[in-house]
Structures are given as C-alpha cells and as structure tokens.
C-alpha cells in the first residue's frame, strides 16, 4: 500500500512537471494607464518559463522606480515619470499605482506585489495610477498588443510590434482605450526585448536529472520489494 501511494505521488509530481516542448519563447503584455487617461502598451518576449511583473516592467523599457518592502515584495512608486517625483514612503497620500492581472477577459487585483507575481506566456499585467481601490485599467486584448498567441509562440524575431489598442469591450465605469492617446514613452522601441537566444533549450529538457530521479526511484522500489519479501508483517 505504501509503495503504491509513493508511486502515485511520484506519478502525480511527474504529471505536474509536464511542459509543452514548443514553448521556448514567450510573450507577456503590459498596459500602463496614467491618471490623465493616457496609456501605453508593451509586448515583452522572454525565454524563461516565467518572469515576474517587475521584470516585465523592467524589460519593457518603461521608466519605473520601485521600493522593496522586505518579504512583502516591491511596490511601484513611479511609472513612466508619474508622479513627477517619487513620493516619500513610495506611496504618498493621493493616487498610487494599482496593479492588476488580466484574467478571463477582465482585470483582477493582484494578490501579490509585482516582484512576486509570476507571468507566463500569454499573460497580461495592468497598472493604473488612481486614487481609491480597484481602479482597473481599460479593457484591451492581449492579441492587440502581442498579436495572435500562435504567431508569437515560436518566432521572437518577427514578433508583432503593434501597440495600437483594440479594445474588446468598453465598460461603463472606465473609458475605452480607443479614446486614449499613447503617451511619450522613454524608449518606444523597447517594446520587444529578449532575454536570451531563441535556441536556448528550456531547463526541463535536461535528461540527466530525470535519469537520476528515475534510477533512484527504481532502486528504492526494488529495495522495498526485497525487504517486503524477506519478512512478513
């Protein structure tokens, strides 16, 4: 029974580790909405399986100032030169940068700080400078920033560069992005950044650790079978 349970646990862990082999280059989108209503969007390519929200901002080329708060993570104090000066204590007393993830066609408040939020291929982060809680950015589709997911999965060099917003819905509370005018970003050409060569294999394809793990499991199961047969309970 114990051996069966352990084998089932190992099988479950192996299933959890499955990753598609084609996902070598990934893309994540960034939406930054200023208090004026202006916004910027960026598409960032990355070779890792995941990056953090802070890395997404950093690699997008958008200017930012963040402050670390120990184990809680980092807070965004200034983004794309807003506010003009970094407030004391990062947040100040008025509006602040609010952080959201795109989930199921809507923006969800992030449960973690940007430095602790993982982003995978096809994910989108949103920032909005506003006062009051849950002031989400306007709706925008991932495809309008990074292009179709299938096109962006394998060809980093020809990744789409459009940053033109194409809203999928216009909520009553927040204005449509069609009405927004893109702001002057510090480095508009930095919309696409790469973190490594496109031929870099993902870490999970290394065969040696898997062989070692499988060999160890087989040895232990064999040893258990020998000890089980030697003496009954």
Partner 1 sequence: MIRHPLAWGAWTVAALAVAFIDRNPYLQAVMLLVVINVYLPYRGRRRAGVWKFAVALALAPILFSVALSRFGRHVLFTLPPIPIIGGNWTLDAVAFGASTGLALLLTVAAFAVLQTTVRSADFVAILPRPLYRAGTTVALALAFAPKTLASFQSIREARQLRGQRTGWRAAPALLLPLLLTTLERALQYGESLDARGFGSGRRSRYRPFHWTAADLVVVTASLAAIVAIAVLPAVPYNPYLDLAPAVPNPERLVAIGLLAVPALTSSLLRVDRARHHA
Toward partner 1, which CB reaches closer, 109 or 154? 109
Binding residues among 115-144 for partner 1 as defined by CB under 8 A: 116, 118
Burial 6-41 (b: 16+ CB within 10 A, else e): eeeeeeeeeeeeeeeeeebbbbbbbbbbbeeeebbb
Binding mask 38-77 for partner 1 (x = CB under 8 A): -----------xx---------------------------
**Binders of partner 1 among 181-210, rule CB under 8 A?**
203-204, 206, 208-210
Which of residues 72, 131, 166, 212 is near partner 1 by CB under 8 A? Answer: 212
As a whole number of angstroms, the distance between CA 226 and CA 172 comes to 70
> Which residues in the 2-21 window bind partner 1 by CB under 8 A?
2-3, 6, 9-10, 12-13, 16-19
Does 216 contact partner 1 by CB under 8 A?
A: yes
CA torsion through residues 218, 224, 227, 228, sign: negative
Question: Which of 36/203 has CB closer to partner 1?
Answer: 203
d(CA 40, CA 184): 8
* Distance in angstroms (rounded) separating the CA atoms of residues 143 and 136: 19
Distance CA 62, CA 74 (A): 17
Residues binding partner 1: what is the number (CB under 8 A)?
Answer: 39
């Amino acid at each position: 029974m114990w051996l069966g349970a352990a084998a089932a646990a190992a099988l479950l862990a192996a299933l959890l580790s499955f990753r598609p082999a084609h996902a070598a280059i990934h893309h994540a989108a960034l939406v930054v909405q200023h208090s004026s209503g202006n916004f910027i969007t960026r598409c960032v390519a990355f070779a890792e399986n995941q990056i953090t929200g802070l890395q997404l901002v950093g690699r997008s080329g958008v200017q930012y100032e963040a402050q670390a708060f120990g184990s809680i993570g980092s807070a965004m104090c200034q983004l794309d030169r807003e506010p003009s000066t970094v407030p004391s204590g990062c947040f100040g007393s008025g509006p602040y940068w609010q952080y959201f993830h795109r989930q199921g066609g809507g923006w969800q408040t992030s449960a973690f700080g940007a430095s602790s939020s993982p982003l995978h291929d096809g994910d989108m982060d949103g920032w909005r400078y506003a006062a009051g809680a849950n002031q989400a950015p306007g709706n925008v589709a991932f495809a309008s920033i990074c292009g179709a997911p299938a096109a962006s999965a394998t060809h980093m060099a020809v990744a789409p560069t459009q940053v033109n917003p194409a809203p999928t819905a216009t909520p009553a509370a927040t204005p449509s992005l069609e009405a927004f005018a893109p702001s002057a970003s510090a480095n508009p050409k930095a919309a696409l950044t790469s973190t490594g060569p496109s031929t870099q294999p993902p870490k999970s394809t290394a065969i040696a650790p898997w062989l070692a793990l499988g060999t160890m499991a087989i040895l232990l199961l064999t040893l258990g079978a020998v000890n089980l047969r030697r003496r009954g309970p």
